[in-house]
């Protein structure tokens, strides 16, 4: 399999290293603080004068021939980089990836936010929109909606009814939002549907009775919601997502789920109704969690696992049904040995 092609990303202006260090909580180990840079690359596209993130010594061999790289790395790798590279600039941070993110956010910040409502937007007369908010073309803002200072509403997005957005929320294009309360700084990508009726019913076929939903969705401050995410409103109580929760693309959160602060949910995970997830937990991609299950704090569930019962103890879990990860891998190794033995 061939390698991905690399790209050099150029910022709109040049930035002194001293300014980037201040923004990223970075220490300059080798180089001049007044040197300016305007480009960022991956390792495979590294060019002289560009900023590159180095997180493992295995990458050093790939960039040894490039002189004058601006390397952002850890203290553990800094000395080796100075020895192996040709005239590098060495920047060190305690969390290099986080520092790299802060630097990129500064160098490639979007153009300044300008408030205003597009003439092509449809605004209900009862909606309350802060004058510093921006509403793009073909957006629809319904009754009883409140849009806070500095918010941005993408094109073709619908705030159907009873939506409240705290300051500086960024709602992507083609969202459909209703029965939703957002804290400050919430971000959603395109094509999210949040606050619609959950999958509540009784019976089947001709005897089917759909259960109306009266609750809301509450998103805490700083939540980051990926593209195509669906979050159902609560049946009677609310569906609650805590502060700084990060939800990847194409996940589904059912009615009455309660997710504590700082949880990370990876792509295509499905969480059934009335699940509770404790703070700082990580739910892997394509994980399925059955209804009314409680997951404690600091739990990590491996991708494609199925959770069928409560997990209270912190730690890593894997498999279907999910079990402590060490136990799962022991079982897998044992099954592999039996398969190999039966073939011999």
What is the spatial distance between Cα 174 and Cα 298, in angstroms, rounded to a whole number? 34
DSSP 113: P
Query: Long-range contacts for 37-42 (Cβ within 8 Å, ≥24 apart)?
Result: 37/70, 38/10, 38/11, 38/13, 38/14, 38/107, 39/8, 39/9, 39/10, 39/11, 40/8, 40/9, 40/11, 40/104, 40/107, 40/108, 41/6, 41/7, 41/8, 41/9, 42/6, 42/7
In the set 9, 156, 255, 292, the catalytic residue is 255
Query: How far is Cα 249 from Cα 236, in angstroms, rounded to an integer?
Result: 27
**167 secondary structure, DSSP code:** T
Instruction: State the Cα–Cα distance between residues 221 and 244, nearest whole angstrom.
Output: 6
> Do the beta carbons of residue 236 and residue 179 sit within 8 Å?
no
First to last CA, the chain: 32
CA angle (337 as vertex; 336, 340 as ends), nearest 5 = 85
Q: Is 252 a catalytic residue?
A: no
What are 156's two structure tokens?
């073709």
Catalytic residues: 255
């Amino acid at each position: 399999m061939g390698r991905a092609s690399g790209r050099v990303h150029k910022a709109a202006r040049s930035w002194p290293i001293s300014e980037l260090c201040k923004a990223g909580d970075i220490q300059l180990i080798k180089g001049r603080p007044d040197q300016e840079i305007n480009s960022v690359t991956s390792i495979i596209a590294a060019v002289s004068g560009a900023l590159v993130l180095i997180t493992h010594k295995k990458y050093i061999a790939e960039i040894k021939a490039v002189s004058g790289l601006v390397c952002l790395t850890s203290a553990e790798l800094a000395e080796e980089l100075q020895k192996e590279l040709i005239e590098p600039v060495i920047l060190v941070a305690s969390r290099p990836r986080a520092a790299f993110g802060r630097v990129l956010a500064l160098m490639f910040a979007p153009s300044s936010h300008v408030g205003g409502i597009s003439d092509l937007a449809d605004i209900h007369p009862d909606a309350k929109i802060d004058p510093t908010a921006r509403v793009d073309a073909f957006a629809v803002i319904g009754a009883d909606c409140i849009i806070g200072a500095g918010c941005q509403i993408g094109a073709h997005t619908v705030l159907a009814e009873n939506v409240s957005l705290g300051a500086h929320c960024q709602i992507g294009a083609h969202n459909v939002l209703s029965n939703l309360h957002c804290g400050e700084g919430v971000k959603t990508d395109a094509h999210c549907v949040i606050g619609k009726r959950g999958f509540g019913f009784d019976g089947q076929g001709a005897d089917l009775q759909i259960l109306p939903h009266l609750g809301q969705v509450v998103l805490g401050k700083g939540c980051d919601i990926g593209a195509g995410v669906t979050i159902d409103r609560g049946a009677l109580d609310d569906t609650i997502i805590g502060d700084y929760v990060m939800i990847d693309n194409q996940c589904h959160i059912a009615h009455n789920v309660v997710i504590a602060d700082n949880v990370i949910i990876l792509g295509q995970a499905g969480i059934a109704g009335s699940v509770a997830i404790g703070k700082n937990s990580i739910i892997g991609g394509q994980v399925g969690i059955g209804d009314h299950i409680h997951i404690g704090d600091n739990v990590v569930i491996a991708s494609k696992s199925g959770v069928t019962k409560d997990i209270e103890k912190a730690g890593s879990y894997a498999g279907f049904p999910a079990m402590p990860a060490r136990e799962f891998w022991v079982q897998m190794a044992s099954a592999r040995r039996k398969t190999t033995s039966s073939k011999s």
